[in-house]
Amino acid sequence: MSMRTAFHLIALLSLLMAIATLNVARAERVKDLATVAGVRSNPLIGYGLVVGLDGTGDQTSQAPFTVQSLKAMLAQLGVTVPPGVNPQLKNVAAVAINAELPPFAKPGQTIDITVSSIANSGSLRGGTLLMAPLKGADGQVYAIAQGNVVVGGLGVSAKDGSRVTINVPSAGRVPGGATVERAVPATFGASPELRLDLRTSDFTTATRLATGINSALGSELARAIDPVTVSVVAPADANARVAFLSQLENLDITPGDAPARVIVNSRTGTVVISSAVRVLPAAVSHGSLSVTISEKPEVSQPEAFSKGQTVVVPRSQIEVTSSGRPAFVFDGGANLDDIVRAINQVGAAPGDLVAILEALRAAGALRAELVII
């Protein structure tokens, strides 16, 4: 084999490797594209008391339910508070507790919880959450919460009313602070089919997902039901079904291209343009007109012995500035690079860019969906 032939062979192999790398880079795992229907977390909520605070608890005169909760808890422990006595507490705070119960969580496992003050407690730092039940949407108790609260914020106040706050000290976390007491009924093996729900609705992606699964398994087991759901016939045995799903979620599928869309955040001025956006032939000229009004009051002093009064006379200066910017022309089928390059040439600010895009859409030259959030 000659050196020239070997060089061409090496170049061809390098090109094929580059193409293969490009295709792999575009492909995504099924695990990242879709979720299994019925496999979901469940929100939990509860109410409790945090004790042991360093004088940063609720002001009981403005939060009477904190005292009521403490009395009810003490009564369950055999301590009776005399009627009409309202303890002035400084180290107790009423809190709301929330957590996410993961799918397939079993009794005895622990989950993290978030504790948030619901009254006027200034900080939960150093506090301990007392035992509190966590309920689901059906009103059933699924976990019991208790533990030391970890607060990432800090609040310091002085006697003159000044205060320095870092982050939010009135909320914290308890890692592993809730113990699961009840398992959510699972529907994972109840149906002969598994349903994969795409995170983003797309007909092309759903079709490619079904085709990719059938090609990998060598049989027609998957079918696209709609642009979100792909149904797959799965084994009935629990062990085989878990292994089958493990094989599916590690398949590489190339998703469909995102639709042509321009996202505009009207509050921050952020503009995101997808790569599929196209512009028809159009000429754009954009300039800005600024008006500046400055007030410079002057003092009018009367002459001596004139019995006049000293008065302030307003003086206003108005300045109008117009910045003429050159026009630019979009050729037919201009892509994202062309759009950004043309707009950068005239130095358009984010606000100007929004105005240009809206004008292009009104003229029918913008081939994309303009979404303003």
Least reliable range by pLDDT among 22-36, 154-168, 341-355 = 154-168
Amino acid in position 361: R
Measured distance CA(14)–CA(27) in Å, rounded: 20
Arithmetic mean of pLDDT over the chain:
77
Count CA atoms closer than 13 A to 119's CA, side-chain side. 24
Separation between Cα atoms, residue 153 and residue 145, nearest integer Å: 22
Q: Are 180 and 108 in contact (CB under 8 A)?
A: yes
User: Within a 10 A sphere around the Cβ of 284, how many other Cβ atoms?
Assistant: 19
User: Distance between CA 13 and CA 201 in Å, rounded?
Assistant: 37
Q: Does residue 264 register a pLDDT over 80? A: no
Comparing C-alpha atoms, which of 97, 102, 114 is closest to residue 41? 102
% residues pLDDT > 70 (the chain): 70
Answer whether residue 38 shows pLDDT above 60. Answer: yes
- The more confident residue out of 300 and 107 is 107
Over the Cα atoms of the chain, what is R_g?
33
Cβ 232 vs Cβ 193: under 8 Å: yes
What confidence score (pLDDT) does residue 355 get?
A: 74
Mean pLDDT of 156-182: 77
Non-local (6+) Cβ contacts of 168 within 8 A are 152, 153
Alpha helices in 118-202 (DSSP H): none
Predicted confidence at residue 19, as pLDDT, reads 40
Region 143-160 average pLDDT: 77
Report percent pLDDT > 90 for the chain.
24
- Which of residues 87 and 112 earns the better pLDDT score? 112
Residue 160: pLDDT over 60: no
Name the least confident of 44-48, 341-345, 353-357. 341-345
* 81 or 322, greater pLDDT: 81
Contact 198, 206 (CB under 8 A): yes
Average pLDDT over residues 202-217: 90
Instruction: Indicate whether 273 pLDDT > 70.
Output: yes
Structural contact between residues 30 and 251, judged by C-beta atoms closer than 8 angstroms: yes
Residue 81 pLDDT grade (very low, low, confident, very high; cuts 50, 70, 90): confident
Helices assigned H by DSSP within the chain: 3-26, 30-33, 64-76, 203-217, 238-249, 336-345, 350-362
Residue whose structure tokens are 């998957």 = 222
DSSP 104: T
